[in-house]
Amino acid sequence: MGATKTNYTYSFPDDISSSDFKSNFVWGAASSAYQIEGAAFEGGRQPSIWDAFCLKNPGAIENGDNGNKAINAYYKTKEDVQTMKKLGLKAYRFSISWSRILPGGKPSMGINQEGVDYYNHLIDELISNGIVPYATLFHWDTPNALEEDYMGFLSELIVPDFVDYAEFCFWEFGDRVKHWITLNEPYTYAAYGYAYGTMAPGRGGSDDDLATVLAAGSNLGLRNRNGRNFNNKGAGNPATEPYDVAHNLLLCHAYTVKLYRDRFQESQGGVIGITLNTQYYEPLDPTKQDDIDAANRGIDFIFGWFMEPIYSGKYPQTMIDNVTGGRLPEFKDAEAKLLTGSIDFLGLNYYTSQYATTAAPTDVVSYLTDSKVHQQAEDPNGNPIGPQGGVFWFYSYPPGFYKSLMLLKTNYGDPIVYITENGWPDENNNDIKLEQARVDSERVDYYNSHLQSLRDAISDGCKVLGYFAWSLMDNFEWNSGYSVRFGLFYIDYAHGKYTRYPKTSAIWFKRFLKGRNKLLEAEATA
């Protein structure tokens, strides 16, 4: 049931409401520090690798954008929390900027009290307004000081430094923050920072090799703009570095969880987990075992890469079999023991799905070719898997959401889950008026259909306790810059005040959160 457009007024779909879920189900929205805060060189903050990447590689970001000002959230805490309260949210997922509180990356290099005060203020504002804080320790913004010191997550030296940073956060904020997420989407960080090279720190081999890989159809999880030149200039080794970085990320997670459980969990009464993203793959031809195998490999090389070690202490067998030449690290026995069961809950980010088949052979040795998977959005008859969003890789496919959750239940021990990101992108259009830009029927349809799939998965036994929309507001969308809008609230970038305006989806979501009732027609500007 879709929304009907008539002079920017919509008859909202009412196929789903919050009353279809348990009364204690957690409803929230999500953000991350570099994408919203701004004040990049203010308040004692020092650069992260994203500051450095945007400065050194402006051609890698759409329109040469950066997060220097983002949406100015650093100065709008009270306003934004009141917006959450008015919307009816009960929780807010944010990330802590490592380099805002520890500018040198280590407590021994000095603590930035202004940064600490900022997060204390945010947390206190949330709690005083009845909104539960969910804090992510790492959302891709490694302090650039550590990148320059020992190449960041390429070095095992990152592990003790990350644990020290986490300990500081637990000590400082853990009396009020009871839900901790160690890492956000380690797959994206490892694959796009060190294989494609299109995200910070921009290490991904030569452009010629990348072109060869893409020509062969090995485009697993591809989330880049087609045909853009990212000027990698041969930096990095995509055959080894993504695996080394992923390994160190997992060790950071495991040792941080051990620290929290040993020293903080009992006294503070909190829980700790990790957020992984998944992309579901349907076999291009479901009658062909080869395509079924390709779909399973595709999921393993994105999601299983991190979920399997957390579940069993080892990498997926498909990766062990396909990452040849000793390039896939191995966990020591003690490390495997630490990893196994190292979550109180799993945060799951789901956006889209694709079809999978086996990629054409290539001589290029890379994470991008190891899976031997080619993904495509169209079935053999040329029909897309679902409606396309405002970026080329994004297609709405609610069954993939349901199937991803059921896979968790059946293959990975039926963990407690929070949906930590789910949402729809619109391409920014500066040629239309604000009143038009705020009418986002596709986003309403996306939430309506995906929340139905979530309800069905819970009905079929999945232990999902909460849902966080991505995102509360439009923001800096990494290498897409400000060319893509995911927000329930429209941000006016043009006039320098970053004014927040509710979109149609915000009105729908507010009514959804009120519970089952007859949704009346409402103006997008109401």
Which residues have a catalytic role annotated? 185, 421
From CA 18, how far away is CA 250, in angstroms rounded? 35
Contacts of 168 (CB under 8 A, 6+ apart): 101, 102, 107, 111
Q: Cβ(435)–Cβ(400) under 8 Å? A: no
From CA 419, how far away is CA 328, in angstroms rounded? 29
Angle of helix 504-514 relative to helix 77-87, nearest 10 degrees, comes to 60
Which residue shows structure tokens 């070719």?
369
Q: Provide φ and ψ at 374, rounded to 5°.
A: -110, 130
Strands 522-523 and 179-184 turn out to be unpaired
Contacts of 211 (CB under 8 A, 6+ apart): none
How would DSSP label each residue in 367-407? HHHHT-EEEESB-TTS-BSS-B-SSTT-B--HHHHHHHHHH
Q: State the amino acid at position 276 in one-letter form.
A: L
User: From edge to edge, which strands make up the β-sheet containing 522-523?
Assistant: 4-6, 9-11, 522-523
Strands 489-491 and 500-502 turn out to be antiparallel
